[in-house]
């Protein structure tokens, strides 16, 4: 019987330089879309997919992230006294069961592959998920839930994939396809950030993975690759060389690159408009802004 995916690694040890100076003191994952930090969206997605153990790979300056998951008895008591049930529920979403959350330290930002490797001792002999909180995905059924279901059929390693334009392929890990079955594709190669004109397809890997413990073993041997960092893509691609299955999954949903300023702003607009209590007022404001801008041009 295939083992269920119950553990997820959240690599959050990056420097977040694209958001300086904010990220000098605020971890990128604590930055807020409407009223919830990016990390909350990632946790909700993981919970929906059945994840029970949450492993954070953190670094210096990320204490706000650890504090975020603490209980806050005073705040809770006040909200209860004031009968603010909805806010109380929002607060409860931030709590983690005792023992369900673990923190590992990545002492130097040596790359995503290295960050995942730092958590190796907390992963047993079972497949595990990796979630990058700066990729926020809006979907009816969460992206990771879709992947967990698909993975129950395929086994092996699975990466979330989406089509990007040819010009953008050099910013992503790109899949070289063996067979295309629609939602699920089998993969015969993966290249991290291929040079312009050399990408094997326009199917890009984004920040959701289901991996086997073999990938952690591969990471033991992998040297720094593209950009001088230890690339997770290289460790997954090594599975193909060992004749073990690697699959891409075309998820249903919209992905926002909240690691970039433009993506973060787009997500703010999309999530703001989707909120019942804000959508009308915010939508009207945006229409007026756009009309004013066009008139001025």
Which positions touch ligand UTP (CB under 6 A)?
A: 11-18, 28, 57, 106, 109-112, 114-115, 132-134, 259
Q: What does the alpha-carbon distance between residue 183 and residue 244 come to, in Å, rounded to a whole number? A: 19
Per-residue CA distances from 108 to 193, 232, 250 (Å): 22, 16, 33
Per-residue CA distances from 17 to 1, 109, 138 (Å): 44, 12, 25
Q: How far is CA 12 from the centre of its chain?
A: 10
Closest CA relative to residue 208, chosen from 176, 237, 232: 232
CB of 67 to ligand UTP, least distance (A): 18
Q: What does the alpha-carbon distance between residue 1 and residue 15 come to, in Å, rounded to a whole number? A: 40
Q: What does the alpha-carbon distance between residue 105 and residue 234 come to, in Å, rounded to a whole number? A: 22
Question: Which is nearer to ligand UTP, 148 or 258 (by Cβ)?
Answer: 258
Question: Which is nearer to ligand UTP, 17 or 166 (by Cβ)?
Answer: 17
CB of 60 to ligand UTP, least distance (A): 12
CB of 287 to ligand UTP, least distance (A): 32
Question: Which is nearer to ligand UTP, 5 or 115 (by Cβ)?
Answer: 115
Q: What does the alpha-carbon distance between residue 296 and residue 220 come to, in Å, rounded to a whole number? A: 58
CB of 80 to ligand UTP, least distance (A): 35
Question: Which is nearer to ligand UTP, 13 or 158 (by Cβ)?
Answer: 13
Question: Which is nearer to ligand UTP, 28 or 151 (by Cβ)?
Answer: 28
Question: Which is nearer to ligand UTP, 99 or 227 (by Cβ)?
Answer: 227
CB of 112 to ligand UTP, least distance (A): 4
CB of 131 to ligand UTP, least distance (A): 9
Nearest-CB residue to ligand UTP? 14
Answer whether the bond into residue 38 is a cis peptide, omega within 30°: no
């Amino acid at each position: 019987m295939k083992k269920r995916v119950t553990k997820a690694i959240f690599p959050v040890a990056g420097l977040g330089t694209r958001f300086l100076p904010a990220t000098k003191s605020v971890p990128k994952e604590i930055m807020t879309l409407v009223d919830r930090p990016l990390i909350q969206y990632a946790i909700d997605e993981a919970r929906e997919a059945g994840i029970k153990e949450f492993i954070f790979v953190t670094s210096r300056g990320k204490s706000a992230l650890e504090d975020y998951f603490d209980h806050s008895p005073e705040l809770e008591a006040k909200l209860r006294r004031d009968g603010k049930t909805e806010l109380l529920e929002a607060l409860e979403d931030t709590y983690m069961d005792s023992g369900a959350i673990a923190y590992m330290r990545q002492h130097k930002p040596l790359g995503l592959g290295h960050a995942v490797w730092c958590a190796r001792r907390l992963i047993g002999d079972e497949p595990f998920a990796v979630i990058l909180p700066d990729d926020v995905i809006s979907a009816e059924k969460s992206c990771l839930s879709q992947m967990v279901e698909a993975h129950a059929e395929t086994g092996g390693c699975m990466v979330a994939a989406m089509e990007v334009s040819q010009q953008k392929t050099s910013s992503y890990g790109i899949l070289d396809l063996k067979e295309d079955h629609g939602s699920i594709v089998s993969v015969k190669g993966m290249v991290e950030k291929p040079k312009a004109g050399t990408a094997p397809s326009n199917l890009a890997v984004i920040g959701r993975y289901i991996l086997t413990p073999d990938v952690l073993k591969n990471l033991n041997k992998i040297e720094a690759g593209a950009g001088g960092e230890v690339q997770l893509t290289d460790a997954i691609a090594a599975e193909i060389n060992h004749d073990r299955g690697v699959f891409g999954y075309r998820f249903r949903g919209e992905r926002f690159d909240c690691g970039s300023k433009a993506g973060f702003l787009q997500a703010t607009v999309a999530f703001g408009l989707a909120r019942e209590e804000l959508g009308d007022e915010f939508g009207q404001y945006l229409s007026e802004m756009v009309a004013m801008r066009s008139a001025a041009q």
